[in-house]
Every structure is written in structure tokens, then in C-alpha cells.
Amino acid sequence: MTIAASVDLAALPWRKSALCRTLWHETNCRHVSYHLSCSEFEMLERESDGFCDICGRDLRATGTTPDIDHDHAIGWRAVRGLLCESCNVSLARVDLGLREPTRAMRYYLDNPWHARVGLEPLICPPDCVVAVHGNGGRDADA
């Protein structure tokens, strides 16, 4: 997606801090769709430090954008962490009951980021759809 040169990026509400203008953030502001503020997303990024929260893969070394994982059963803002595409897909299968979680996944699921930082999730009404799995890891979340 290209932003027209006439748009004042500094005026956009999610562009207020220097850390918020990281490469990951500049290329896709996906945290906004999870109802996270810039400071909340920055806290999440700092905590993961560029590594997958399950397997520990260095996402910066591979040049991949981390997937924002959230708990579909709870809803928006129930962000559990940042994952590599492989762990995100595997965790989606766990969420769907298609496989058992590994010990690392169980620890991750038992200690979600939103609970550790005291972030109150936005509960979805029963008829809402939070996200759809299976977009090759692009814009998908588990």
C-alpha cells in the first residue's frame, strides 16, 4: 500500500512516537486492528525483542514481520504475543483442536501478554468474526 505524498504522516494518530516508526510498524500498522495504541504495541515489541514468543526464532535475521497473535475466544485486544509464521500456523491448529500444544506453546498460552500487562480485552459479541485463519501468514493471526 502506498500513501500519497500529500498525507502528513505525523498527523496520523498512530504515528506519534519515534519508536512507533519502526520498519515493522511503517510497513503495516496491524496493531490498530487489534485496538492497541502505539504505546501498547511498542511495549509488546520491546518485550518480544524481535524474537518469536514460542520458538525464539530471530525474526529480524529472517527479515519476516511477526504475526500478532490473539485469543479468538476472548476477542480484540486479547493479544497473546508476537509469533513467527510457523508457530502462528501451529497455534491456530491448537486453537481449532487439531493438535496438542507443545510444552512451549502451553507456557505461552498460560501466560498471554494481555494478562501480564493488565490489558482489558474487548469482548466480541457472539455473532462477530475476529479473524480468519489461512492467508499464508500474511495479515493472519492465531
Domain extents in the chain: 9-123
Q: CA 123, 81, 75 angle in degrees (round to 5)?
A: 10
- pLDDT, averaged per 10 consecutive residues of the chain (142 residues), comes to 40 44 53 80 90 94 87 84 95 93 97 90 58 39 43
